[in-house]
Amino acid sequence: VPLVESGGGSVETGGSLNLSCTTAYKYSYSQYCMGWFRQVPGKEREGVAYIRSDGGVKYADSVKGRFTISRDNAKNTLDLQMTSLKPEDTAMYYCAAALFLRTVCDVGSALDGFGYWGQGTQVTVSP
């Protein structure tokens, strides 16, 4: 497992959580797009936030204004600050790094462009 997520948990509606992602090996993804994705049982995995190597970010409409993605290339870490959480944010959250430098770093980018994944961290938001 090249990436490791942490920070998931259970909160009430309106609460906040901070997710973190680190590299499991001494490998730098600093030149690559990275993102946070989520998946609920029976549904496809969806991207919620993306960040380019230069720090440019993109968000899914469903989380825009509530989630903030950031990265520290020196530390090889990727974070996701989640505020104003809603029950519909309940999912397993995964961080991922692009497989190619040319991978489109935007909402809707094909999942097969991301080749390095963590095992996920569960986020549960109760009504």
In the chain, % of residues over pLDDT 90: 82
Closest CA to 93 of 65, 52, 114, 121: 121
Amino acid 1: pLDDT: 65
Chain-centroid distance, C-alpha 9: 15
- Mean pLDDT for the chain overall: 94
What's the pLDDT band for 114 if we cut at 50, 70, 90?
very high
Interval 41-77: pLDDT, tens: 999 999 999 999 999 999 999 999 999 999 998 888 9
Question: Over the range 46-61, which residues count as b (16 or more CB within 10 Å of their CB) and which as e?
Answer: ebbbbbbbeeebbbbe
- Among 22-26, 36-40, 83-87, the least confident range: 22-26
Q: Which residue has the tokens 């569960």?
A: 122
